[in-house]
Every structure is written in C-alpha cells, then in structure tokens.
Structure 1
Amino acid sequence: MNTFRGSGLLRNRDFSLLLSSQLISAIGDQAQFMALPLVVVALTGSATQAGFVLGLGTVSFLVFGLVAGVLVDRWDRKTIMMWCEAGRTLLTVGVVVADWLDRLTMPQLYATAVLAGILGTLFQVANTSALPNVVDAQQLPTALGYQQSAGSAVSILGAPLAGALYAVGRVVPFAVNAVSFAVSAVSLRMMHARFQTERQEIRARARITTEIREGVGWLWREPVVRFLTLVTAADKIRYGAGYLLIITLAQQLGSSPLWIGVVFGGAAVGAMAGALVSNRATRRFPLGHIAVVMLWLEAVMFPLYALAPSPLLLAVVAAGESLVAPVYAVAMTAHQLSITPDELRGRVTSAVSTLTTGALSIGTLAGGALIGALGAKPLVWLCGAWLLALALLTTANRAVRHAPRAGVISRAEGADAHQTATLTS
C-alpha cells in the first residue's frame, strides 16, 4: 500500500484507478437513472410505471443489503466488484440490443432494475469495506473526501449530460453506462492492492442470519456509531420528504422545470463546496462537533424554504443547507471504517446503509401524503422542528460530544476492537 499525504494520495496507483473507475461509472449511472423513467413513459405512457421501476432498485437494496454484507465479508471483495461490473455491463447491453431489435419490454426493464440493484448493492458494500485496505489509515478521510467531491461533480454535470445523451437516442445513456461498467471492471483488474486483510484463522461458516447478527450486534455495542446512525436515519426521513417538498414549493412560486433544476443545482453546488473542504475539516474538528454543527445548520436553514420568495433564493437556501452534510458523511464513514474490524466491515456497512436507505424510502413515500394532508409550508415547519429535536438530542449526547477526530484511531485501539468483536461474536 502506498502512503502519501494531501494531494499526494493521487499518486497511489490503486486509489487513482479506483477513484477514476468510480467517477466514470457514476457518470454512466446518472445518465441511465435520468433516462430510465423516460424510456418507461415512452413504452407505457405511465408515470406510475416509471416510478415503480425506479423504486425497484431501492427495494433491492433493502431486501438484499444485509445479505450483501455477509457475502462481502466471506468472499474476495475485488472479485465481487469485478463480477458486479461485468454483470451490470451485460444487463445494460441487453437493454440496448433489445431496443435496437424493437423488442424492449417492461418485464425486461423490471428484471434489469432488480438485478442491477442487487449487483449495485454488492458493489457499494464491497467498495466501502475495501477502501481502508487501499489507502493508509491516515489518508482515509482524504480518500473519502475525493469520492464525495467526485460524486458532487457528477450530480452537477450529470443531469445536463443525461439530457444530451437521451436526445441522441433513448437508449444511448444505457450504452454509455455499459461502457462505464466495463471500464470500471478493467480498472479494478489492474489494481494490485488486496481488498481485505489476511484472515488469521479459518472458522466454519455460520448461518447467514447468525453472521448478520454479528455485524448488527457489533454496531449496537458502539455507542457513537449507533447513536449517529440512528440520527442519520431520522435525518434521512426528513431528506426523503424534502425532495418532493422543495419541488412543490418551487412550483407554488411559479417555477419552470429549468428553475426547479437550478434549485437542486444549488444543493449540488453546496455539497460540492462541502466535499472540497471535507478533508481539512475532518482533520481539524472532532466527529461529534461536525455532527452537531450539521444538524444545527439544517435546523436553522430548512425553515427558510417556507420564507424564500423566489426560486433563486430557494437555490441559495439549498446550497447553504447542503454545505456541511458531505463533511459529516466523510467524518462519520471514516470513523466507522477505522474502528470496525476488517472481517466485519461488510456487515456493519450494510447494516448502516440498509437502515438509512430504508429511512430515506419512508420519507419519500410519506412526503406526498404529508404535503396533501398538511400543505407544503406547514410541512416545512414540521421538518424544521424534527431537525431541531435531532440537534438538541445530539448536542446532549456525551459520547458524541467526546468522539475523536475521524480516523484518529490508534493501532492499539484497533486491536482492542478486533479482540472485542472476536470475543463477543
């Protein structure tokens, strides 16, 4: 493993290959995600069907996420990731070929959404679990910051690119995504780093449910990670409801689809700015302080959506509210990965992701109903009160307030965590 500081991390060949492959793949994913509902509407004329197909990917994660964590801890992570990319290449090529032959059907799109969701879940869990083995422990926040910045850049540029590709042909985004998956697989094959540590002892495989309980049990015994995971899930409920809420507020102000895009572009710009300073912030400030600041900023900023008199000011609010979230994401993920024993990383990562993704889905589903029952602006104030409660609870939590800076975990502490996990599993 190469160890560099600051921007020198990009001289780590393995990390550069991993980051570039993720960036290329994310661009393809964004293009396909934007094109998929348009293809479904073109085939069926039904927006409901389009929403159903998009939802299948989330359902796949919720159903398969915990099992994916077990498989990532059992099997070779690099091999998993390469096969996932190969499988997603075949699925997207299949859509392109079927459309070219004029035989594209809804059952094929359903199957593609489900299978791609399963493979994507495996890939994401394996990728997150492997990162501490690709970069030095002290460089983990930096690496996560680069990934956050790349993701934010894709969010800003992805939608216009998707529209341009769809204008060329309705399955062109799928073809681009297929190429991106293939490039990602080749990049992974070129990497030399091992994606997990050598196991010191080989034990008989337990039942999948037993191994899932080991990961969830370890997570539950870590007070800081446990509390912040629950708070993040609670915040995701608000975030899921907020997406449709902001669209509704923008429409009430007479915003065109272009201006609605500007509003969410403001959020992406704010997230990009946060991602760019995430490395410096996570090295300077403790995790608990970052969590408290993020929640208080959200609690103060979110009610301003109800007061913004124009789409431009909605975009400004969105940018401000999104500023600290990437810093928190880097700090929280770095802390979790640093203290989790390698043989449990897949299961712990999948447990956290399943909980937060489930909460996001609940918020998305509840958002429309709550807007209909309460109205858009009253729901803004309700979400603001929700965020205020989360900020107060987090500020009052002593363990969170004393949490260290992200990645500041000594080798001795890591060994203690490993021994504790072994004795209690």
Structure 2
Amino acid sequence: MNTLRGPGLFRNRDFSLLLSGQLVSAVGDQAHFMALPLIVLALTGSATQAGFVLGLGTLSFLVFGLIAGALVDRWDRKATMIWCELGRAVLTAGVAVALWLNRLTMPQLYATAVLVGILSTLFQVANTAALPNVVGPRQLSAALGYSQSAAGAVGIFGASLSGALYAVGRTVPFAVNAVSFAVSAASLRLMRARFQVDRQDVRTTSRLTTEIREGLGWLWRQPVIRFLTLVSAADKVRYGAGYLLIITLARQVGASPLWIGVIFSGAAVGAMAGALVSDRATRRFPLGRIAVVMLWLEALMFPLYALAPNPLLLAAVAAAESLVAPIYAVAMTTHQLAITPDELRGRATSAVSTLTTGALSIGTLAGGALITTLGAKPLVWLCGAWLLVLALLTTANRAVRQAPPAGALPQQQATSAAETADMTG
C-alpha cells in the first residue's frame, strides 16, 4: 500500500474513486434538499410539513443508527454501500418521475424521506467503518481531512448550483441526485480494496441487541472517546440552536437573504480552511490539546455574534468560529477509528453518531422556543456560557490531556489494519 502523505494519497486509486463518488453524491444531495422544501410548500403551503419532511432523515438516524452499526459489522460493507446507493437512486428517481407526471403526493415524499434516511444511515456508518481499510493507518487523518475539505467546497459552491438546477426545472434536482447516487455506486464497484478485515467468526445468529450492547460496552470503556463524545454531544446542542439563532441575528441587523447566504458561506470557508490543515495538525498536536483549544476558541468567539453590528462582521465571526471544528473532527475520528477493532467499528461509529445527532436535533428543536422566550442576544450569551463550562471540564480531564496525537495512534495500535496492507492490490 502507498504510505505517502498529501498528494500521494491520490495515487491510491481506491480512495480517489471513493472521494470522487462521494463528492458527486454530495452535490446531488444539496440540490435535492434545497428543492425538497420548495416542492412541499408548493404542494401543501405548509412550512410545518416542509420541516417535518426534512427532519425525517435525522429521525431515521436516531431510530435506526444503532441497528445500522450492528448490521454493518455483520454484512459485507462494500456490498452494503453499493446497494444503499442504488436504492437511493431508485427512490429519488421515483420522485422526479412523479413530479414530471404531476402525480407526486405527500405520502410518497414521506415514504421516500424515511427510506432514504435509513439507507443513508447504513451508508454513512459503513463508509466510516471501512475507511481505515481503504487508505491504511498512515493516511487515515489525511483522508478524513480531504473528505472534510470536499464537504466544505460543496457547502460553498453547492447552494448556487442547486438554485441554478431548480431554475431549470423542478424535476432537475431530483434527477441529478438520482444520477449522482448511480455514479457513486459505480465508483464503489470499481474499487478493489477490502472494506473489512476477513473474519471467520462473524456471528449472524446472535441477537442484534446483544451485538449492540457489545459495541456500547466497548465504547464506554474507552475514557477519552467516552468523555469527548459526551462533550461533542453537549456542543451539538448549542450548534443545533445556533443555526436559527444566527439567522435571527442577521435579520436583526438588516441582512437580506443574500447576505444570510454570505454569512453561512463564510462559515463554510472557515471550515474548509480548517480541513485543509487538519492532517498536519492531527499528526503534530495531541488530541486533548486540539479539543481544549477548539472549545476555548468557540467559548470566546461565539459571544461575538451578539456584538457584530452588520452582516459582514457576522460572516467574519462565522468563518473564524468554524476554523477549528474540522481539525477536531478529523483528530477525534482518527483516534476513534485507530483504537477500535475492525469488527466493532460499525457499532462504535453508529453509537457516537446517534448520540451527537440526537443532541443536534434537541438543539434544533429547542432553538426556536429559546429565541422566543429569551431573545436572540441573551441566548448567544447563554450558549457562550455553556461552551465555557465544556471548555473548563475538558481542560480539567486528565485522560483527555494525556491523549497522544491522533495521527500517531495507527502506528501504535491499529495492528489489524497493518496486517491488511495488501488490500489495494
């Protein structure tokens, strides 16, 4: 396997195929999810129903996430990902066809949202669990960094492209997304890497609940991952409330819809910049230091939203506040994947994602009520105080402070991945 860093990662044919397929799929997803609420509003005139349809994907992850992790550890990960992409292509194409025939109904949209959410959950868990086997331990943090950068690029440019596709025709975003899923499935089919370590003792007769408990039990016995997952979940509550909070603050300083888009583009630019340096930071700095720095910067910068007098400064705050989060995400995920046995990666990944996704949902649901009750600026200060508490708790945690650089863990602990170094051939 190629162990070079940086550009050498793209000489790994399998990773290039994986990343390119996911980039195309992400563009299709953005077009889909921009068009979806507009379609629901056209059908029903109800913003409540539009929000409900959008929320069904998150709800699917919360309900199905732990089960998905156990299934991903049972099943062939590559085949699972391919079938998920093909299933999403068929479901999304069905929406496009129904729109074209003027026969789209809300029950079809609800069913599509639930089924696509389930398949997306399976795909995401399988993808994260498989990545160390696709790129190898030395290139894991670099691969995660490139994935974060690609997501940032889609966030910056995807909105404009999505608007242009919808302007061409209301069926176009859904048709494009269906094609993007098919492209992703084709790229996965062309990959030669093993997506999991060969295991002769895979259990398909034991109860799923037993396997889920095994994954949760292993995760709970890891003090660094356990603590940082709980902190990340607590931070996601604030993050979920922050989306509507920033929109409210922007409107209070007279921002137009265009400027609101600029503010969130600023956040995407900051996140992309952080992702570009995440590999180097992950290899150089201890995980605990990255976590502490991120939380302190967030605690110090988030209150600046309440002080920004115009949309331009709001965009600057959003860019600065978003800079460190991708670095932490790469460092944390690298650490988690490096120390997790391959046969448990699906369950560990799904447990972490389910907890943080649930916290994000709570924050999103509570954000509107808190803004109405407290007001936007007081809520900013409350979120800042919440982040300050998290920063103090993380700084005081000895296990986190002593955690080594996440980029060094694969050479020390990911022996199972090292034993499969021939997987790209």
Give the TM bin, normalised by the shorter chain.
over 0.9
Query: How far 1:102 sits from its partner (Å)?
Result: 1.1
Partner in structure 1 of residue 349 of structure 2: 349
The code of the aligned residue for 1:68 comes to A
Shift of 1:134: 0.3
1:9-408 paired onto structure 2 within 5 Å? 9-203=9-203, 205-408=205-408
Determine helix, strand or coil for the equivalent of 1:407: helix
Distance 1:136 1:416 in 2: 10
Residue 205 of structure 1: how far off its partner (Å): 3.0
CA RMSD of aligned residues (A): 1.3
Per-residue CA deviation, residues 22-72 of structure 1 (Å, 9 max, x unaligned), is 100000001101110001101111111100100111100100000000010
For the Cα contact (< 8 Å) 1:25–1:177, is it kept in 2?
yes
1:205 alignment partner, SS class: coil
Q: CA shift at 1:170, angstroms?
A: 1.0
User: Deviation at 1:254?
Assistant: 1.1
CA contact (8 A) 2:73 2:344 kept: yes
> What is the rounded CA distance, in whole Å, between the counterparts of 2:125 and 2:244 in structure 1?
28
- 5+ residue gaps, structure 1, are 418-425
CA distance in 1 between partners of 2:160 and 2:203 (Å): 51
CA distance in 2, matches of 1:200, 1:10: 32
Amino acid at match of 1:403: A
After TM superposition, the structure 1 stretch with the greater mean CA deviation from structure 2, 125-134 or 40-49, is 40-49
CA distance in 1, matches of 2:411, 2:257: 52
Identify if the C-alpha distance between structure 1 residues 106 and 221 changes in structure 2 by more than 3 Å, giving closer, same or farther: same
* Structure 1 stretch displaced more, 204-213 or 370-379: 204-213
Of stretches 18-27 and 4-13 in structure 1, the one that deviates more from structure 2 is 4-13
Kept after mapping to 1: 8 A contact 2:137/2:410: no
Cα shift at 1:101:
1.1
Cα distance change on mapping 1:103 and 1:202 into 2, 3 Å: closer
* Displacement of 1:139: 0.6
Q: Tell me, what secondary structure is at the counterpart of 1:109?
A: helix
What residue is the counterpart of 1:423 in the other structure? Answer: none
Find the aligned partners of 2:137 and 2:415 in 1 and give their Cα distance.
14
- Deviation, 1:2, is 3.6
Matched length = 417
- Which amino acid letter does the alignment assign opposite residue 335 of structure 1? H
Secondary structure of 1:50's aligned partner: helix
CA contact (8 A) 2:74 2:202 kept: no
SS in 2 for 1:269: helix
What SS is found at the alignment partner of 2:201? coil
Contact between 1:84 and 1:122, CA under 8 Å: does it hold in 2? yes
1:205-264 CA-to-partner distances (Å, cap 9, x unmatched) read 321111111111111000000000000000000000000000000011111100111111
**Alpha-carbon separation, structure 1, partners of 2:297 and 2:174:** 38
C-alpha contact (below 8 Å) 2:130/2:196 kept by paired residues? yes
| Counterpart-to-counterpart distance in 2, 1:91 and 1:330 | 32
Distance 1:22 1:416 in 2: 26
| Contact 1:235-1:387 at 8 Å conserved across structures | yes
How far did 1:204 drift? 5.8
Deviation at 1:200, TM superposition (A): 4.3
Following the alignment from structure 2 to structure 1, what is the Cα–Cα distance between the partners of residues 411 and 155?
37
1:408 Cα deviation from its structure 2 partner: 1.7
Q: C-alpha separation between the residues in 2 aligned to 1:198 and 1:116?
A: 29
Residues 247 and 78 from structure 1, CA distance in 2 versus in 1: closer, same or farther, beyond 3 angstroms?
same
TM-score by length of 1: 0.96
Q: What secondary structure sits across from 2:194 in the alignment?
A: coil
SS of equivalent residue, structure 1 residue 404: coil
User: CA distance change for structure 1 residues 314 and 410 in 2, over 3 Å: closer, same or farther?
Assistant: closer
**Quick one: distance in 2 between partners of 1:326 and 1:12?**
23
Whether the 8 Å CA contact 1:298–1:387 is kept in 2: the answer is: yes
Does the aligned pair in 1 maintain the 2:14–2:191 contact within 8 Å? yes
What is the DSSP-based 3-state SS (H/G/I as helix, E as strand, rest coil) of the residue aligned with 1:197?
coil
The Cα shift of 1:410 comes to 5.6
Percent of paired sites with the same residue: 80
- Unaligned 5+ segments in structure 2 are 418-425
What's the CA shift for 1:4? Answer: 2.6
Partners of 2:313 and 2:202 lie apart in 1 by 58
Give the Cα separation in 2 of the matches to 1:166 and 1:213: 45
Please report how far the alpha carbon of residue 83 of structure 1 lies from its aligned counterpart in structure 2 after TM superposition: 0.1
Change in 2 beyond 3 A, CA 1:65/1:106: same
Distance 1:169 1:302, change over 3 A: same
Q: CA 1:370–1:89 in 2, change beyond 3 Å: closer, same or farther?
A: same
CA spacing shift, 1:378–1:185, aligned 2, 3 Å: same
User: How far apart are the structure 2 equivalents of 1:40 and 1:201?
Assistant: 48
Counterpart position of 2:422: none
CA contact (8 A) 2:24 2:180 kept: yes
Instruction: State the 1:131 CA deviation.
Output: 0.1
> What is the CA–CA distance in structure 2 between the aligned matches of 1:412 and 1:50, rounded to whole Å?
48
Q: Which residue identity lines up with residue 283 of structure 2 in the other structure?
A: R
Deviation at 1:99, TM superposition (A): 1.0
Which amino acid in 2 is paired with 1:363? G
Equivalent-residue separation in structure 1 for 2:20 and 2:131 (angstroms): 14
Shift in CA distance, 204/316, structure 1 to aligned 2, threshold 3 Å: closer
Q: Distance in 1 between matches of 2:240 and 2:286?
A: 27
Look up the SS of the partner of 1:320 in the other structure: helix
